[in-house]
Amino acid sequence: MKHEVHKEKSWAVIYDACLIDFPGPDFFSVDYWRSRQALTGEAVGRGSAWFVEIPGPVVLRHYLRGGWAAKFSRQSYFFTGITRSRPFREYRVMSELFELGLPVPRPVAALCQHHGVTSSGAIMTTRIDSSNTLADSLNGDELVKGVWTSLGRCIRRFHEAGLWHADLNARNILLDAEHRIFLIDFDRARFSPGKPVNGEGNLKRLRRSLTKFWPAGDVSAFQSAWAQLEAAYDK
Ligand SMILES: Nc1ncnc2c1ncn2[C@@H]1O[C@H](COP(=O)(O)OP(=O)(O)O)[C@@H](O)[C@H]1O
Ligand SMILES: [Mg+2]
């Protein structure tokens, strides 16, 4: 990976120069890719993730304006604020995790924009081929045997590495065709490399999410799955 940062008056990008040439704000625009017939789909989530061929499959996500924009725009020193912006932070966290060999999509680029009193941003990551979210897999195909043990171990690895996921739910876990597990969505995540974190809160959040997506009436299967996950996590 070769991270390059480029700053203009009202926007800045960070990108992996091993993957792409310098991207301007257009590169993060859905209309831009649509007009080039490069938009291949949309993901279910909080509502703004698109599948794009740049070429090569990537996922483009826009940050919804919220607390982030409000807080950010109060800072008059835009240029130092940029590195602390949510897109830039998420890009950095993902690249550090990726370089450590943890199972996350490789980040491609992030954009932070400043318009008058508000800010917006986007991030692009490589798409995990033939993947489904864990939430979808619960209701669709049979889950492969051992998936709960693998997931428990996987989450443990992240916590041991120093990663606190801010929203570990069943839609932020991907399974690919080879049953490999990936964590995604590191918006607001906290990463202190080498400092193991207490993952209790993350597990609690995940448990709640699983009960929400679990097929109705299958309580004992849920309990067994969760016990397997916890046992693998605790080992
Ligand atoms: N790298 C990726 N590969 C495949 N699908 C992805 C990838 N990143 C995100 N997605 C899909 O997009 C959805 C939304 O992305 P996510 O990063 O969770 O953002 P948010 O939850 O903020 O909308 C995910 O639940 C998943 O279905
Ligand atoms: Mg998500």
pLDDT digits (tens, 9 = 90+) for 156-205: 999 999 999 999 999 999 999 999 999 999 999 999 999 999 999 999 99
Catalytic residues: 167
Kindly give the number of the ligand 1 atom that is closest to the alpha carbon of 64: 22
Residue 10 pLDDT class (50, 70, 90 cuts): confident
103 C-beta closer than 6 A to ligand 1:
no
State the residue for tokens 């067994």. 224
Dist. CA 76 → ligand 2 center (Å): 30
The tokens of 80 are what? 């130092």
Question: Which domains, and CATH codes, for the chain?
Answer: 3-126 (3.30.200), 132-234 (1.10.510.10)
Residue 38 reports pLDDT greater than 90: yes
pTM above 0.95, yes or no: no
Residues, Cβ < 5 Å to ion ligand 2: 45, 172, 185
Dist. CA 100 → ligand 1 center (Å): 21
**Which pLDDT value is given to residue 116?**
67
**Which pLDDT value is given to residue 29?**
96
Q: What are phi and psi of 165, to 5 degrees?
A: -85, 130
**Which pLDDT value is given to residue 73?**
47
Beta bridge partners of residue 58, listed in sequence order: 52, 126
**Which pLDDT value is given to residue 75?**
43
Which of 33, 13, 36, 31 lies closest to 23 in space, CA to CA?
13
Dist. CA 46 → ligand 2 center (Å): 7
Kindly give the number of the ligand 1 atom that is closest to the alpha carbon of 63: 22
Percent of the chain residues topping a pLDDT of 90:
77
Residue 68 pLDDT class (50, 70, 90 cuts): low
**Which pLDDT value is given to residue 48?**
79
Q: Whose CA is nearest to atom 14 of ligand 1?
A: 45
Q: Which helix (H) or strand (E) holds 57?
A: strand 57-62
81 C-beta closer than 6 A to ligand 1:
no
Start-to-end CA distance of the chain, whole Å, equals 33
112 C-beta closer than 6 A to ligand 1:
no
The tokens of 200 are what? 């209790």
105 C-beta closer than 6 A to ligand 1:
yes
For range 30-59, the mean pLDDT: 91
**Which pLDDT value is given to residue 143?**
86
pLDDT in tens, 42-52: 987 666 799 99
